[in-house]
Amino acid sequence: MIKYFKILLYTTLILIIVANCIDPFYPDIEEYENVLVVDGFITNENSVYKVKLSRTQHFDDAENKPVPGAVVQVIDDSGNVYLFRETKTGTYESNPGEFTGQVGRKYKLNIETTDGNKYESGFEGMKNIPEIDSIYWEYKEKPASDVNNPYRGIQILIDTHDPENKTRYYRWSWSETWEFVTPYHKDTLPRHCWKKDSSRVIEISSTDHLTEDIIRNYPLYFISEGTNRLSIRYSILVRQYSLTSDCFNYWSRIRETNENTGTLFDPIPTQVIGNITDLNNPDKPVLGYFQASAVASKRIFIDRSELIALPLSVSSGFEYCESLIVKDSLDNPRPEYLGYVENYGWVIYFQEVSGPILVTYLTNSISCVDCSLTGTPVKPDFWIE
Amino acid sequence: MDNIKINQTPDNNLLSEILSNTFNNTDIRFYLINDNIILTKNYIINTNIIEVYDTVQLSDIQEDKSIEHKISKSVSPESILSESLQDIIKIGNPVLKEEKGLATITGFIKEELTGEPVIGCVVYIDDLQKGVITDVSGYYIISVPKGEHQITIHSMGKEDVTKEIIVYSDGSLNIRMEEKLIQLSGVVIKADRYHNVGGVQLGMDKLEIKTIKQIPASLGEADIMKSAILLPGVQTVGEGASGFNVRGGNTDQNLILLNGAPVFNTSHLFGFFSAFNPDVIKDFKLYKSWIPAKYGGRLSSVFNIDTKSGNRKKLAGNLGISPVTGKLTVEGPIVKNKSSFIIGGRTTYSDWILRRLKKADIRNSRASFYDIVGKIAYDINDRNMFDISAYLSSDYFKFNTNTEYNYKNRNLCTHLKHIFTNKLILDLSGIYSHYSYSIYENESELEKSNLTYDIKYGEIKADFNYFLNSSNKINFGLNSGLYRLNPGSYLPEGKESLIIPVRMENEKANETALYISDEYDLSQKISLYAGFRYSVFALLGPRTVYNYAGGIPRNTSYIEDTAFYSKNRIIKTYSGPELRLSLRYRLNTNNSVKLGYNSMRQYLHMLSNTTSISPTDTWKLSDKYISPQTGNQISLGYYKNFLSGNIETSAEVYYKKIRNLIEYKGGAELLLNETIETDLIKASGKAYGVELMVKRNTGRFNGWLSYTYSRILVKADSQFEESKINSGKYFPANFDKPHDLTCVANYKFSRRLNMSGNFTYSTGRPITFPVAIYNINNFRLLHYTDRNEYRIPDYLRLDFSVNVEGNLKSKKIAHSSWSFSVYNVTGRKNVYSIYFISKAGRVNGYKLSIFGQPVYTISYSIKF
């Protein structure tokens, strides 16, 4: 009885609290609101700044809708006007070397579209940004559905602080690069490559509720053992941006609206409006935020050798690869590999004649031989062995 | 009595002959019952007649009572308790019988077995088609023309008591009722059989705990709030959501009273359970349209829960085990027949279960709750009755993170009933409610903090019932309450914490109301209830009030000046009248039409911009910027009973207007916000609907079927774009579910076996879908505009349960029962919510269902 009761308890609880099921949902959304989207960002780095103009897309429509032909200007608080030119449809860039954002100054964006509509952002101050104190990592297990088999990996964390207690609002982005090799190789094909990826998650934090402007142990990114990122050598470049409090609120609302958890305790999603106004029709929404931030960046490397002691079973990224080496006599033209090629889509990546024998190297995917298909064989400039 | 000398020689005569000779030619009568000789003066005691004298007008009442008692015991074993029609009860002084007119009968209805008062039972004069309901002390008062009548006492789960009475003058009639022998008696829902047609009230439902316990429960735990949702006009946003919506009202518009004190958070485990232990609850009444004038402060409904009074005769208890909770109730007399106690506690072992689960994030989570209810009742004498009750509920949970939530309700209620005369009764109560929560954040040393919120409410209520005459029942009184709120304090914990302490200014206010109502029977056919309530609300200092620049939306950047109000200075007052009217026109015995109008005011609001009440939602008082919510409802109902009241049908329509609803701007910050008014939007609402119901109360097969069509639309319009929702047009509220069909059925196979099923269908609730996608900084983002333009799929669920009683031998020490239930028999994946996530450059839609499979539970309980 006791045993039965226990089982009952488990099932009940699991059903109630645990086994709520989540299924994909494909909505039939007819409604569509077509509004202007402004993606503009200037920094204090000496580079070309971009402002992208587009229209919102229908929910089911993957196609981007750039807005060409607009007049785009950035104006600073002393009245200097910097004209951006369209380099690609809907993408407007500053002239190289014409201007660099300066900490302490304020900037605003002016847009006039071909239909004569005018848009303007509020003045956005560029605040100072302190250096990143450190980027470091630690071994971490993330809970998985099976408690005995959690997600293992390493967690990248950052520390930063502003001794003047002025920055307060931070945003981070990162780009990662890692080295990998294919399991099979052929002399003419690259085997050793680097791959890149960048952040797709909104990473922001504020210290406005703290007595000091200190951020410690901010968990930026979790690298799972299930990818080949840690298979040889890995590097991450973190960029840290200063935000105004309005800009921070904007991103925090964007995050809230787009990373809903589906419970009834989430705020009902609403429209998120940035700092850009339609001058002809101030009640009409304009999406996006014209952001002016100072940037600090830092890079670290993580070598496989540093992870040896950890209970990680890092993926090579090529677990799917299989290969066959078929040795066939030259006078018998019925190579069995042809069946693989025809029926299973295998690829002959190399053939050589060794005396009277034809040796054929086959693999189920050419990406198992040629690393340039998933990465680049060119070693990045910053790469330190 | 005077002394009488008896001068007789007993020469082996029978005693009866001696007595007969003795009292011949006197006004004294005698009765021989076993070895007792009973003498009376003036009155004839017929063995079939029981005499009851007016307790007030006759001084020798005690003697009379003893007569009544002896006769009833010796002559007729079923006597006064039984349904024997042979007994005729005389009420009042026969000397006064010649005078024409009306007489008032008063008395207490108590349970035979436990001596507990029978609350809300109907005392009905069958020939007059007129009835009254007993109050919380089991007290009733009714006026009838002098003469013969038939009186029926009816209460759910009890044997009906029907008596022939002869009324001579004002008098009292106390009646004890027996439990129906069959525990699983068929009655399912009881909106008072006689009251469905005969009562003045519209839109009132009452459920007894026995009924509630038969309804299949999701977690093997009978739940009063979940049962209430099965009633027409009551809805919820989703499974496991706390709170309910009555006729288009928000969850905060329900006044939930436990023994008269408001309960501010009514759920355990975010809403999976209600915070009331079913073993200690006697019943609940839900007023959704006609709300008596003595209640106020909330717009939509009054949900009045009464706990049991303890057993006055012997010590008894109840032990129950279900998959998630264990509970124990003990009750008994303190002084036999005079005072009693009851205490019931309930806790969960969910923590223990969670620790044994495999999934790590669940395993590291904690969830626990408990609640305790206790009550002591003491009858000081016939005219004064006192009781005191206390309630504590507590919840704690933590989800795989280092954030711990804790919330608590603490209530204390004292109540004194004083009967001045048979016509004037005072109910005096003092209540205190305290709700608090805390969120302890322990993720990092730097940000270790504790956030606390508190609301305290104390109230004095003096409620008088004055029975002016047979056709006027007047109720008047005064409520005065004081609110004290701590809207939040956020403080660092530990030495390393860098949290800047935030202490929000407390809020304090007084709400006082005077009310008077008359239940007036114009004629047999027409009854009228007219109630008037006038409430005054005053927000008191100390407090800082910001004044904003006019002509633009309120914004913290445009604070023109700041006013500070010192302690107890009045910052803002609101006041207004509330009308409660109800008119019943009786077409005939089984048909009536009722028309009602009521207006309500609400000065306390819950701030919540989530779909359901969340554990961090707070209550806020009206202030300079937040006007009281007001509601006006008009309703019309038609009631018809078939088969002498065994089948009741009703149809009600209503239309309601709500003003000063609170809505929120996008991204509103509701916690620790000193300028909350800048994030709020004033809205208005309209709700209308039709509620149809058929129910069968008695017999082996009973239950109800109800269909509701209802709409609730909200409008937030303003001269400022940011204060508009859906461009200022009407939009459906989160809980707008137009069609709702509910069927609750109960079949009794035998005394020991009973089966229940319920079926629920409703339209899916409204939900907001994105109307576009856009790209910014490599993120694919969702664009939302109009709220609640879409709906989640319809909801459909079937539940089933079997209740088995242990054997019914009365001599057993303990009585056990089992209950097996299956929730969501079909395993339908009812959608709870639909949401969209933009991740890694992709937008995905998901639907979440909570109970995607049948949930089997078993629970066991022992009564001793």
What 3 state SS string does B529-572 have? Answer: EEEEEEEEEEEECCEEEEEECCCCCCCHHHEEEEEEECCCCEEE
- The predicted structure's pLDDT at residue B180: 56
Subunit contact B353:A9, Cβ cutoff 8 A: yes
Q: In the predicted model, is pLDDT for residue B481 greater than 70?
A: yes
Half-sphere exposure (CA, 13 Å, Cβ side) for A62? 4
| Single-letter amino acid code for the residue at B253 | Q
Subunit contact A8:B832, Cβ cutoff 8 A: no
State the SS3 of B189-211: CCCCHHHHHHCCCCCEEEEEHHH
Query: What pLDDT digit, counting tens, does each position of B699-754 carry?
Result: 888 889 999 999 999 999 988 888 899 989 999 999 999 999 999 999 988 888 88
Contacts of B245 in chain A (CB under 8 A): none
Question: B785: phi > 0 → left, psi -120 to 50 → alpha, else beta; which?
Answer: alpha
- Same-domain status, A150 and A114: no
- Same-domain status, A221 and A107: no
CB A297 within 8 A of CB A237: yes
Task: Assess if residue A313 is contained within a domain.
Answer: no
Say how far apart CA A346 and CA A338 lie, in whole Å. 9
Calculate how close chain A gets to B55, using CA atoms only, in Å: 57
Calculate how close chain B gets to A351, using CA atoms only, in Å: 40
- Same-domain status, A166 and A303: yes
Subunit contact A150:B360, Cβ cutoff 8 A: yes
More confident residue, B17 or B547: B547
CB B621 within 8 A of CB B539: yes
Q: Which domains does chain B have, with CATH numbers?
A: 43-177 (2.60.40.1120), 204-863 (2.40.170.20)
Query: What pLDDT digit, counting tens, does each position of A294-351 carry?
Result: 999 999 999 999 999 999 889 988 999 988 888 877 666 556 677 788 888 888 888 8
- Same-domain status, A185 and A303: yes
- Same-domain status, A276 and A208: no
Q: In the predicted model, is pLDDT for residue B632 greater than 90?
A: yes
Q: Which residue has the tokens 């009514």?
A: B266
Calculate mean pLDDT across residues B312-322: 89
Say how far apart CA B493 and CA B497 lie, in whole Å. 6
Subunit contact A270:B787, Cβ cutoff 8 A: yes
Calculate mean pLDDT across residues B440-451: 89
Contacts of B663 in chain A (CB under 8 A): none
Subunit contact A56:B786, Cβ cutoff 8 A: no
- Same-domain status, A350 and A260: no
- Same-domain status, A139 and A203: yes
- Same-domain status, A256 and A242: no
Task: Assess if residue A19 is contained within a domain.
Answer: no
Task: Assess if residue A50 is contained within a domain.
Answer: yes
Contacts of A254 in chain B (CB under 8 A): 776, 779, 781
- Residue ranges, chain A, pLDDT below 70: 1-20, 144-148, 260-264, 330-336
Chain A CA closest to residue B500: A210
Calculate how close chain A gets to B239, using CA atoms only, in Å: 10
Out of B218, B241, B848, the one facing A22 most closely (by C-beta) is: B848
Task: Assess if residue A201 is contained within a domain.
Answer: yes
- Same-domain status, A55 and A113: yes
Chain A CA closest to residue B851: A20
Beta bridge partners of B815: B863
Subunit contact A198:B778, Cβ cutoff 8 A: yes
Say how far apart CA A276 and CA A39 lie, in whole Å. 10
Calculate how close chain A gets to B298, using CA atoms only, in Å: 23
Say how far apart CA B853 and CA B802 lie, in whole Å. 19
Contacts of B447 in chain A (CB under 8 A): 209-210
Chain B CA closest to residue A260: B837
Contacts of B829 in chain A (CB under 8 A): 21, 23
| Chain A interface disruption, residue of B219, B353, B364, B774, most A CBs within 10 A | B774
| Chain A interface disruption, residue of B352, B366, B721, B836, most A CBs within 10 A | B836
Calculate mean pLDDT across residues B317-339: 89
CA-based nearest residue to B190, from B614, B572, B581, B704? B704
Out of A26, A39, A147, the one facing B360 most closely (by C-beta) is: A147
Calculate mean pLDDT across residues B134-163: 81
- Identify the domain containing residue A291 by its residue range: 36-128+249-295
Contacts of B350 in chain A (CB under 8 A): 13
- Same-domain status, A138 and A205: yes
Subunit contact B773:A57, Cβ cutoff 8 A: yes
Subunit contact A269:B770, Cβ cutoff 8 A: yes
Task: Assess if residue A372 is contained within a domain.
Answer: no
The domain total for chain A is 3
Q: Is any Cβ of chain A less than 8 angstroms from the Cβ of B501?
A: no
Q: Is the dihedral of CA B195, B197, B199, B204 positive or negative?
A: positive
- The predicted structure's pLDDT at residue A145: 61
Subunit contact A19:B446, Cβ cutoff 8 A: no
Q: In the predicted model, is pLDDT for residue B58 greater than 70?
A: no
- Same-domain status, A48 and A94: yes
Name every residue whose Cβ is closer than 8 Å to that of residue B744 and which is 6 or more positions away in sequence: B188, B189, B215, B230, B703, B704, B705, B756, B757, B758
Task: Assess if residue A210 is contained within a domain.
Answer: yes
Q: In the predicted model, is pLDDT for residue B85 greater than 90?
A: no
Task: Assess if residue A5 is contained within a domain.
Answer: no
Calculate how close chain A gets to B563, using CA atoms only, in Å: 26
Calculate mean pLDDT across residues B496-505: 93
- The predicted structure's pLDDT at residue B378: 93
Subunit contact A268:B219, Cβ cutoff 8 A: no
ipTM score of the complex?
0.88
| Chain B interface disruption, residue of A8, A263, A287, A290, most B CBs within 10 A | A263
CB B480 within 8 A of CB B700: no
Q: Is any Cβ of chain A less than 8 angstroms from the Cβ of B820?
A: no
Say how far apart CA B726 and CA B72 lie, in whole Å. 72
- Same-domain status, A139 and A241: yes
Out of A23, A211, A285, the one facing B847 most closely (by C-beta) is: A23
Task: Assess if residue A265 is contained within a domain.
Answer: yes
Q: In the predicted model, is pLDDT for residue B81 greater than 60?
A: no
Subunit contact B838:A268, Cβ cutoff 8 A: no
Calculate how close chain A gets to B789, using CA atoms only, in Å: 9
